[in-house]
A and B are shown apart, each in its own frame.
Chain A
Amino acid sequence: MARLVILGGGVAGHTAASFAAKWLGKSHEVVVVTPNSKWNWIPSNIWVGVGEMTKSDVTFDLAPVYRKAGITYKQAKAVSINPEGKEGSDKPFVTIEYTGQNKAGESEEVEYDYLINATGPKLNFDATPGLGDGQGHMGEHTVSVCTADHAVHAAHELQKVFEKAKKGERQKILIGTGHGMCTCQGAAFEYIFNVEHKAKEAGVRDMLDITYITNESFLGDFGMGGIHFKFGGYITSSKVFAESIYSERGMNWITGAHVNKVEEGKVTYETLTGEIKEQEFDFAMLIPPFAGVGLKAYAKDGSDITSTLFAPNGFMKVDANYTPKPYEEWKASDWPSTLQNPTYNNIFAVGIAFAPPHIISKPMQSPNKTPINPTPPRTGMPSAMMGKAVAASVCDMIKGVSDKPTHTANMSEMGAACVASAGKGLFSGTAAAMTVYPIIPDFEKYPGTGRDLNGTSGEIGLAAHWVKHILHFVFLWKAKLKPGWTLIPE
């Protein structure tokens, strides 16, 4: 019997675990190590953050689902990996520290035959002074929608602002990225439109000055260097598309901004031109930058080999081309396919946990050498596809079908769909539906825009709204492993 250990129970880890358990059956063991007791459909946190949904609408308990699937569930955080075992044993293992199951604080060594690292990110609030509390958590000046609890808090604070606006106090809303190296602009993009829509519903829109602040060098970069699609007879840039959406709603924007300090009611930021500016706010939702979760790695003799397994940013090295080179020399083929660690072939990394070879957008920095550019998005749909592909490879390796990975999930050969809502009603509000193929632009295959114009699209309307609703219910159904879950595509 082989044991597959999966670190992380988010979109990537949960997908990998679910399929691996189904494909391996009872002949082998699948273990999930995650510090959380609940699974969270993160895209719907946006609706929680404006009070349209509750925490229970977007989360469910993992334990009964894993019990039903025959998956061993350990509510714990991974601390370190010993890929060569330890003195007296060649068996590789991970050291975990429980966060629940009545064992909080207890450590355990969990041996594995195969390991999938799907830990997701550490929300690195402390990278920006004042954005964090100095203890690794969100600070007191801003809110976030990165977790369901954060989103509940955001909705509460937003309501206070609306109440003040109703009393005639003009309010300043600031939404965007809280650091020059953030990713996940899509979440901020969607949140700002939901806040604006909610303000209209509450009758306070005229009392709000709403501003978007972002590390993108232009609106619509989305950490992917922007996209192009056919729209109204033109091949249009996402810059035109995004600017139009903000302008239509009377919202301001600040691009190319590295927020370097957050204080009560004020952020200080550096721009790509090197200027230091300030922006006041009464309510701010700023996405933190992501970092690896800080896993350590040790050789058999106990020496630290963290730099062998992980890149300096804490994300795990896989089969990518990490040779530093200028933007002009970047290629789609730099991106990993099998997501297998090059040193230890029984270790894989999926979702945010793998180290990208480089960013996707063109690197930018201020005259002060401060890097201000989005880091690559690899959440949601790509994460799930990676989880499934790697699970398939590992299952084939366990079953002896092959001694090498049999499936690939290369972001330069996969697309992504993104639906950003504005409101939640079925017949009020609208949403922007975007598809992009491939995620990583391939300028050799698709000269000019880097993407297939037949696979890349963008439009606004009620239809996208319905898709967003369907995705919410369908993916929660799938994640709960309810009947027919395997028929729902990633």
Chain B
Amino acid sequence: MADKHVKHIKAYSPQFGTMIPGSFQKFLRTCVLYQLVRFVIINIKMTVLILKSHH
């Protein structure tokens, strides 16, 4: 059965050689609980980045 995530890809087109997210990856992107955790992590990463950048 064709995977709905890749059915728009044509063989040997530029898109054919790339990485396409599947159902689980897409679910995680919009899973509010998981994204709340990622939100905290992104903010920590950015804060560390800012602290390392000021001289």
Contact = CB atoms under 8 A, between A and B. Distances in A.
A462 B19 contact: no
A388 B55 CA distance: 10
A435 B46 CA distance: 7
Contact of B15 (A246, A464, A467): A246
A375 interface: no
B35 A463 contact: yes
Given A248-B20, A462-B30, A413 B53 contact: yes
A455 B32 contact: no
Interface residues of B, number: 32
Interface of B: 5, 8-9, 14-15, 17-21, 28-30, 32, 34-36, 38-39, 41-43, 45-50, 52-55
Nearest to A429: B30
B14 A252 contact: yes
A388 B17 CA distance: 44
B43 A462 contact: no
B18 A244 contact: yes
Contacts of B29: 430, 460-462
A243 B42 contact: no
Nearest to A407: B55
B8 A417 contact: no
B33 to A, nearest CB: 11
Nearest to A460: B29
A247 interface: yes
A463 B45 contact: no
Contacts of A437: 49, 52-53
A248 B19 CA distance: 8
Contact of B39 (A389, A413, A463): A463
A408 B46 contact: no
A459 B52 contact: no
